[in-house]
Amino acid sequence: MSADVTTGEPVDWKDEWRPVVEAVGRDFSGGETVWGADPVEPGAIRRYLEPLEFDCALHTDRETARRAGFDDVTMPYTGAMSWTLPPMWRPGETLFDSDDRDAQPVHSAINNTDMPIGPRTTGFFGTDIEVEFERPVVAGERIGRRGRRLVSCTPKETKVGRGAFLTWESEVVTMSGEVVARIRIGTYAYVPREGS
């Protein structure tokens, strides 16, 4: 337990999360839409499907997709995160500056290093994701996430460390601004325990 610098009184570690708890409902995006690194394209859809062996003609055959009323093959719904993430690495950059077992990337589109309030954390992982689609995304479209509204913040100590479970909500939009889905992402941001 730390001490208040003005009173010297003990401070519960959860108190450091109070500004974040009080910010529930706030949009942290600054009005910016974060675009995926690349447009959705048939070759990337194929590579996405290969390790899953996910065989659906709407994703692989243009004629089948067109007969179903789409302009081109459709992105698998499970690809929403993949196609809305900006690039994590660019030539000349270093993504991992440590070879430690649990090394975190220097920067990531899904961690909380840009969080302007609350305690600094060095551990981070996703806990869950929920996506509600308005319509399928088709090859040729570029999508991104608009908004980053904090839906919940629950401080909790776990086996890996002290931190908080956070839930974020965004809209998935096309370049024209059409909302094609709404996404909720759960995360756990924490300070790792010594030796973990």
Using one digit for the tens of pLDDT, what is the confidence trace for 65-98?
999 999 999 999 999 988 998 888 889 888 888 8
Sheet containing 161-174, strands listed edge to edge, beginning at the edge strand earlier in sequence? 33-35, 143-157, 161-174, 179-192, 123-133
In order of their start, the domains of the chain are 2-35+90-192 (3.10.129)
Contact 138, 71 (CB under 8 A): yes
pLDDT grade for 32, boundaries at 50, 70 and 90: very high
Q: What angle do CA 45, 186, 31 make, to 5 degrees?
A: 80
d(Cα 49, Cα 60) in Å, to the nearest integer?
Answer: 9
d(Cα 47, Cα 76) in Å, to the nearest integer?
Answer: 12
| pLDDT tens readout for residues 99-146 | 888 787 776 665 555 678 889 888 888 899 999 999 999 999 999 999
User: Which of 5-14, 24-33, 71-80, 87-96 is least confident?
Assistant: 5-14
pLDDT grade for 3, boundaries at 50, 70 and 90: low
Contact 188, 125 (CB under 8 A): yes
pLDDT of residue 71: 95
* Residue positions counted in the chain: 196
User: Taking the CB of residue 13, how many other CB atoms lie within 10 A of it?
Assistant: 14
The pLDDT of 170-194, averaged and rounded, is 94
Judged against a pLDDT cut of 70, whether residue 61 lies above it is answered with yes
pLDDT of residue 180: 97
Q: Determine the residue type at 10.
A: P
Say which residue, 30 or 10, is predicted with more confidence.
Answer: 30
Q: Which of 141, 134, 127 is nearest to 39 (CA)?
A: 141
Give whichever of 4-8, 97-101, 114-118, 173-177 has the largest mean pLDDT: 173-177
Instruction: Report residue 114 as tokens.
Output: 């840009």
| 49-53: long-range pairs with CB below 8 Å, 24+ | 49/76
pLDDT of residue 193: 86
